[in-house]
Structure 1
C-alpha cells in the first residue's frame, strides 16, 4: 500500500490539492494500492477559498514507494508566503534521500526549493511565479511554460489544473498509460497532457466542450498528429459519418475542422522544437510537414505570429 501525503500550508488552493487527490483516490477505486493522508504544522488550515481543512500534525514515516505532494497556496510573492518549518523541510529531504518521490503544484515549488531539492534539477511553477522562483533559487534549472517537469524523483507542475496532469503522469509511470487513461476518463479529463505541453495550448483552448465523439477524435489526433489522418479514418474512430464529424467538430471547437486542429498542434509543436534549437526546416519535418513552406504559410495566417529562429538569429514576424 502506497501512501500519498499532501502537505498543507496556509492559504492552500483547493484545486491544487483536490485535483491530484482525486486522481489517486480514483486509482484506489480501480483497485490500486493508494492511501491518502494530509499533514500540516497546525491541525486546521484555512484554504485560499475559505474552506477550513483538518490535517494530522505529525510527519508520517514513509518508504520509497510513498509520495509527498506540496500543493500551492495563494501568495503575491513566494518570499512573502508561508513556509515549512525546518523540521518539515528536513522531512522532505529525508524522504527523497531514501528513494522517495517529492512533488509540488504551483507555489509548492518554493517549499521544495527551500528544502534544497531544486538545486541542479529541472523544475517549473505557475507562470506568475517563474521569475521569482528562478531568482530565489539560482541553482535550480527553471523550465518555463511547461505543465510539469520530472528530474531525479523531484516533480514540479505549473499550477492549478496542471496538478492533475502531474498526478496522471505519475500513475502512467507507475502502472502504465492504460490506468492513467482510465482514471482520466472517469474524471472527465479527456486529454492527459504531456509535461512539455505549453501552459496555454490548443488542447486547452479546444477541450472545453462535452462532445464525446469529438473528444475521441481529438485523442486520436493528439496521439498521431505527425501522421496523415484521413477524415474517413477519424470518422470511423468516432463511429459517425464524415459529414457528421465535420459538423460536430466545427461546433465543439468554435469553428475548426479536424485538419485545422491537427495543423494547429503541428505548429505549436514546431514552435517548441525551434525554441529548443531546431531549424524551421527540421522542425517542420519532425511534426509531419513535407517541408517548411506549409509551416511558414500557416504561421502567416495567424496575426502576430512570431517566428523564433535558433540561437544566433533574432526573432522576426511573419504576415
Structure 2
C-alpha cells in the first residue's frame, strides 16, 4: 500500500516535544486505520544523531540530503538550536529543496526561523512561539508574523506556535487527510482534547494571568474557573472568602490586575469562545454552562469582546469542510 511520506527535520538543539507530537500523532493515526498510512522519517542534516536542548540524543532515520521523490509533508522542528540551524546554509538549502518536493510544508515552534531563512515564508502570514515572534519579524521583514494563533495555514505552508501546538497542527493534518473521526480517535488515544482551532490564542486568560501567590485570591480564582455557571457576584465571592467586597476588590486589583467582576466576565467569555468552536451545542446551552442568563445575554457580552456575535464567531472559527467531508486547516 502506498504511504504518505512525512519528513521531520531535526538538528542539534531540537525540542523533543516538538518532534514527539508530530511523529507520535501520525503513528497514532496509523493505529486508527489511516489509509493510506503515514511513513514518518526523522531526517538530520548528515544522518547522524542530534542532541536535543535537554541533552538527550535522537538518532536520525535518514539524511536530509538523501530525501528524493515525492514527499507528502515536510515538517521542520523547533528548539533552542533554531538560530544555528537557520544560519547553516547547507541545512537551509536542503530544506528548500525538499520543500519543492512536498505537497505541504510546516514548521513547529521556532522551526519557522528555518523556513524563513529558506525564503519559504516570504509574503505569508505565519506564527511561531510567542516568545520568539518579535525577533522573527525583525529578522525577516517580508514575513507577516502573528504571534497569537496556535497554528496558521497560508497556501501550502503551515506554521504552529510553541511546543504542544505541534499536536494541534498534527491533528488538523490527520483530520484533513482522513476525516474527523480518525482525528477524534487519535486525540482520545493520546489523551488530549480534539484539536484546538488554529485561531485560538497561544496564550489564554488562564495562562496569561499569573496564578496568584496570595492564598485567598488564588482560592477565589480557582473557584471561579471551576464554577462558571454559578452565582459569581462580587458580594457572594467576598462572603465565601470571609472578607468584605472592598477588600476582595483591592486584593484582585493588586494580584490579578482587574476587578473580581471583570475576571469573572473574562473567564466566562473565554470559556464560551472555546465551547462555540469545539462543540455544536446550542447557544442557549453554551450560555448556561458559562454563566450567562440567556443566549441574548451571551451575545451582548460576547460581541464587544470578540467583534462578532457568537453565531458568526462559531461559523468563522470552526474548521471548514472540504470535499469528502474533511476539514481544511485555517
Give TM class, smaller chain: 0.5 to 0.7
Q: 1:189-216: CA deviations, max 9, x gaps?
A: 123101000012379899x99xxxxxxx
1:140 aligned onto 2:143: yes
* 8 Å contact from structure 2 (residues 71, 101) kept in 1: no
Gaps of 5+ in 2: 209-221, 227-273, 315-330
Q: 1:261-309: CA deviations, max 9, x gaps?
A: 999x9899757743xxxxxxx5467459xxxxxxxxxxxxxxxxxxxxx
* 8 Å contact from structure 1 (residues 124, 142) kept in 2: yes
Shift in Å, 1:224: 3.3
The aligned counterpart of 1:34 is 38
The aligned counterpart of 1:100 is 103
The aligned counterpart of 1:70 is 76
C-alpha distance 225-90 of structure 1, shift in aligned 2 (>3 A): farther
Report which of the two has the higher share of helix. Answer: 2
Of 175, 179, 186, the residue aligned with 1:176 is 179
Question: SS at the partner of 1:173?
Answer: helix
- Of stretches 89-98 and 129-138 in structure 1, the one that deviates more from structure 2 is 89-98
Question: SS at the partner of 1:39?
Answer: strand
Of 147, 153, 156, the residue aligned with 1:153 is 156
What TM-score, normalized by structure 2, do the two folds share? 0.64
What TM-score, normalized by structure 1, do the two folds share? 0.66
* 8 Å contact from structure 1 (residues 270, 287) kept in 2: no
The aligned counterpart of 1:23 is 25
1:193 aligned onto 2:196: yes
Which structure would you say has the larger Rg?
A: 2
Shift in Å, 1:176: 1.5
The aligned counterpart of 2:15 is 13
The aligned counterpart of 1:310 is none
Matched pairs, number: 244
Gaps of 5+ in 1: 210-217, 232-256, 275-281, 289-319
Q: Which has the higher contact order (CA 8 A, sep 6+)?
A: 2
Q: What is the CA RMSD across the aligned residues, in angstroms?
A: 3.5
Q: 1:5-26: CA deviations, max 9, x gaps?
A: 1111111111011011110010
* 8 Å contact from structure 1 (residues 9, 84) kept in 2: no
Shift in Å, 1:178: 1.5
